Amino acid sequence: MKVVVFNGSPKGDRSITLKYVLYLQNKFPDIIFKIFHIVSVENKNENEIRKDILENLLFEIEKSDIVLWAFPVYIFHVPSQLLHFIEIVRKQKISDVFSGKYAAIISTSIHISGTLAINYIHAVCDDWNMKFTGTFNCETNDLLKSVYREKLIFFFNSILNTIEKKYELAFEFAPVKKHEFIYQKGHKVISIDTLQKKILIITDSTDKESNQHFMTEYFSDQFTVRPEIINLNEIYFKGGCLGCLKCGYDNHCVYQSADEFTDFYKAKVLMADIIIVSGDIKFRYLSHVWKLFFDRSYFFNHTQPLAGKQVGMILTGEVSHIVGLKEMLSNYYLIQDANIVGLVTDESKNSETISRLLGSLADRIIYAAVHNVLNTLPSEVIAMKYILEDALKNRFGFINYSAYRYYNKNHKFQKTTQMYGKLVINKILILLIRFQTIRNFIHPYFVSSILKKFNKLLENS
Ligand SMILES: Cc1cc2nc3c(=O)[nH]c(=O)nc-3n(C[C@H](O)[C@H](O)[C@H](O)COP(=O)(O)O)c2cc1C
């Protein structure tokens, strides 16, 4: 029996999610686990996998019985590197090799919106004609608890049973149809006074003949002062978020002086009153460039840098056919206390309707900005906020010190119950972390001490 593992964590072999796989490897010594780290397979600047790597990859998948996706949740979805890898597989038209293979997921997170990421990979498996056997979804440190180790063994045994008995498994996600419609841009209007509100349109459009391009243009045409349009493809990203959490203390990204992203984010995104997301559905999500944008913005940790901003979305493609997509994109803003004003898509396939909707969105978003509109939150976002608050207060406040400080200063610690033992340790570490020298000492120690716990477990298993 052979398992091909795709480790989607940007941390590579330092991934906690991977420890779950290594635990299984220890417990099932007769099974061969062939592990691919997506960070080394993904070709950062190209849309192709390097030829030698690709040949090996295809060979191993061909010979495997099951493909196991192991990944952390990053900004309500999979990390940008994994999204890019899936984009490349599709572009290189090599997904046939996955057809008929069994598939499963092991995913870790702090349980903020993890289902959307899991559904995405599950849907990709369905698209590639794989037989999806199930998901092991857990909190980062669950493997350290015996009850979860038992659950993990049970999970894997049931996969083995499925493979042995050659069970047939139903698809859960309908294929996304090709979206065929050409939007005819309406006439220039220029009637809406921006009332000194700064509008920033962020787009990733690469095609000047696309609906995305024309819809974005038409929206811009509505205003007396033309909004600034920034194309994410023109910003130099050295790479995706590494998950190193070094930004947790002072919001300083390790890539800060190595690429253009953090300067762009501070100078443009933070300065805008109104943000427009312009995207096109690529493969059940926006492009991996948009995901780079979301993941890399994590350097602000949970300090809500977009609070109070008004957000609109202009999306093209079969948006409503992708379960959870709208929620996933909205949640990024809502959890920061930004306000979602509206979404316009080209799904009506009627140019006049689309132009009218774009005009209304333009008007509505200025109204919302002038009146500082802040709508109530959906229940799931409130639940996410509880989880986050609890994590900052009781467990991860010191590694996310900037967010802890922000929550404290703005009296945001109100709802969650306290676990006194952990709270005290957290408080002591928070006091110590204020000193740079102690911080420099603690960060590597903290990261390696977590890994040590897992390594010890693996040694004894
Ligand atoms: C950039 C970044 C974004 C994250 N976004 C989420 C999220 O949206 N939801 C969540 O529950 N956890 C989120 N997490 C927490 C990770 O999913 C969690 O720590 C995971 O167990 C890390 O696994 P790994 O060590 O295999 O990378 C995020 C962590 C990072 C570094």
Q: 404 and 309 in one domain?
A: no
**Has residue 54 been placed in a domain?**
yes
**pLDDT attached to residue 417:** 62
The pLDDT tens digits for 323-348 are 899 999 999 999 999 999 999 999 99
Residue 55 CA to ligand 1 center (angstroms) comes to 31
Residue 76 CA to ligand 1 center (angstroms) comes to 9
Residue 36 CA to ligand 1 center (angstroms) comes to 19
The pLDDT tens digits for 66-83 are 999 999 999 999 999 999
Q: 360 and 216 in one domain?
A: yes
Domain final residue pick, 165, 184, 216 = 165
Determine the residue of 15, 23, 75, 82 to mutate for testing ligand 1's pocket, defined as the one with the most ligand atoms within 8 A of the Cβ atom. 75
Determine the residue of 14, 35, 71, 74 to mutate for testing ligand 1's pocket, defined as the one with the most ligand atoms within 8 A of the Cβ atom. 74
Q: Which residues surround ligand 1 with Cβ inside 6 Å?
A: 9, 11, 15-17, 72-76, 108-114, 140, 241, 243, 245, 295, 298
As given in the structure block, the two tokens for residue 239 are: 């790479």
What is the count of structural domains for the chain?
Answer: 3
Q: 348 and 208 in one domain?
A: yes
Whether residue 45 has pLDDT greater than 80: no
**Has residue 180 been placed in a domain?**
no
**Has residue 395 been placed in a domain?**
yes
What domain range includes position 412? 379-460
As given in the structure block, the two tokens for residue 381 are: 């976002």
Residue 72 CA to ligand 1 center (angstroms) comes to 5
CATH number of residue 145's parent domain: 3.40.50.360
Residue nearest to atom 23 of ligand 1 (CA): 72
Rounded Cα gap, residues 419 and 435, in angstroms: 26
Q: 325 and 274 in one domain?
A: yes
Domain final residue pick, 319, 353, 370 = 370
Closest approach atom of ligand 1 to CA 245:
31
3-class secondary structure for the chain?
CEEEEEECCCCHHHCHHHHHHHHHHHHCCCCEEEEEEHHHHCCCCCCCCCHHHHHHHHHHHHHCCEEEEEEECECCECCHHHHHHHHHHHHCCCHHHHCCCEEEEEEEECCCCHHHHHHHHHHHHHHCCCEEEEEEEEEHHHHHCHHHHHHHHHHHHHHHHHHHHCCCCCCCCCCCCCCCCCCCCCCCCCCECCCCCCEEEEECCCCCCCHHHHHHHHHHCCECCCCEEEEHHHCCCCCCCCCCCCHHHHCCCCCCCCCCHHHHHHHHHCCCCEEEEEEECCCCCCCHHHHHHHHHHHHHCCCCCCCCCEEEEEEECCHHHCCCHHHHHHHHHHCCCCEEEEEEECCCCCHHHHHHHHHHHHHHHHHHHHCCCCCCCCHHHHHHHHHHHHHHHHCCCCCCHHHHHHHHHCCCCCCCCCCHHHHHHHHHHHHHCCCHHHHHHHHHHHHHHHHHHHHHHHHHC
Q: 364 and 384 in one domain?
A: no
**Has residue 182 been placed in a domain?**
no
Q: How confident is the model at residue 419 (pLDDT cuts 50, 70, 90)?
A: low
Whether residue 200 has pLDDT greater than 70: yes
Residue nearest to atom 22 of ligand 1 (CA): 72
**pLDDT attached to residue 437:** 85
Overall pTM surpassing 0.85 (yes/no): yes
Residue nearest to atom 18 of ligand 1 (CA): 109
